[in-house]
Amino acid sequence: MSFNAGSFNAGSFSDRLDRVQPFRVMSLLEVAQAREAAGHDVIHLEIGEPDFPTPAPVIAAGQQALAAGHTRYTPAAGLPALREAIAGHYAEHFGARVDPSRIIVTPGASGALLLASQLLVQRGDRVLMADPTYPCNRHFMALAEAELDTVAVGPDSGWQLDAGLIERHWRDETRLAMLATPSNPTGHTLDAGQIAAVAETVAAHQGALLVDEIYQGLTYDVAPVSAASVAPEAYVVNSFSKYFGMTGWRLGWLVAPEGAVEPLTRLAQNVFLAAPTPSQHAALAAFTPECRDELERRRRELHRRRDALLEGLAGLGLSPSLVPQGAFYLWLDISRYSQDSLTFCRRLLEEENVAITPGIDFAVTGGEHHVRIAFTADIARLEEAVARLGRFLARQSGPSMAERR
pLDDT at 24: 82
pLDDT grade for 404, boundaries at 50, 70 and 90:
very low
pLDDT score of 11 more than 70: no
pLDDT score of 400 more than 60: no
The whole-number average pLDDT for the span 111-117 is 97
The CB-side HSE value for 185 (13 A sphere, CA atoms) comes to 29
**Rounded to an integer, what distance in angstroms lies between the CA atom of residue 40 and that of residue 198?**
48
Q: Are the beta carbons of 164 and 198 closer than 8 angstroms?
A: no
The whole-number average pLDDT for the span 103-116 is 98
* Residue of 399 and 294 predicted with greater confidence: 294
* Residue of 4 and 344 predicted with greater confidence: 344
Predicted confidence (pLDDT) per residue in 283-300, tens digit: 999 999 999 999 999 999
* Whole-Å CA distances, 217 to 83, 154, 247, 405: 18, 23, 15, 42
Predicted confidence (pLDDT) per residue in 220-252, tens digit: 999 999 999 999 999 999 999 999 999 999 999
The whole-number average pLDDT for the span 57-67 is 98
**Rounded to an integer, what distance in angstroms lies between the CA atom of residue 180 and that of residue 189?**
8
The model's pTM: 0.93
Least confident of 8-22, 24-38, 325-339, 377-391: 8-22
Average pLDDT in the chain: 94
* Whole-Å CA distances, 132 to 20, 94, 151, 362: 16, 27, 8, 5
pLDDT grade for 8, boundaries at 50, 70 and 90:
low
Domain boundaries, the chain: 19-53+291-393, 56-287
Least confident of 117-121, 181-185, 221-225, 352-356: 221-225
Strands 103-106 and 252-255: antiparallel
Torsion sign across C-alpha atoms 132, 136, 141, 142: positive
Instruction: Output the CATH code of domain 19-53+291-393.
Output: 3.90.1150.10
* CATH class for the domain made up of 56-287: alpha beta
